[in-house]
Amino acid sequence: MNVTVKLTGLLLILLIGVVLGLQTAERGISKVSGTVDQEQQTFYIKKMDQGKMEIAVMGKQVQTENPEKVVNYMSNMGMTLGSTIKSGAQTFVDWVGGLFAP
């Protein structure tokens, strides 16, 4: 069980790193080529008319209507991820503190 949690955490960190790396590389390529007016291919959110939003991940459109539903989903996902990281950090600090306990 402990190995599964560690592996899942490492894979999540790797996934976040890959997405951030893709965005950084894309920004660098657009600066070099001079075509900054193109939409990003990795991840972007664009406001449309009348309160609609266009959300795309890896070039595929996710949703344009009812953005509140997507925002709430992303908000809940972010809050869950934050609480998981917080509890993981607390567990790690407790474990390190336990090593130095008399």
Are 28 and 43 found together in one domain?
A: no
How sure is the predictor about 84, in pLDDT bands with cuts at 50, 70 and 90? very high
Tally of structural domains, the chain: 2
Backbone dihedral angles phi then psi of residue 93, each to the nearest 5 degrees: -65, -40
Task: Report yes or no on 16 lying in a domain.
Answer: yes
Scan for tokens 């008399």, then name that residue.
102
77 against 7, higher pLDDT: 7
Task: Report yes or no on 15 lying in a domain.
Answer: yes
Task: Report yes or no on 29 lying in a domain.
Answer: yes
The pLDDT mean for the chain works out to 77
Task: Report yes or no on 53 lying in a domain.
Answer: yes
Are 47 and 62 found together in one domain?
A: yes
Kindly state the helix (H) or strand (E) to which residue 42 belongs, with its residue range. Answer: none
Instruction: List pLDDT tens digits, range 31-75.
Output: 777 665 665 566 666 777 776 777 776 666 665 556 556 556 667
Give the domain range for residue 17. 1-35
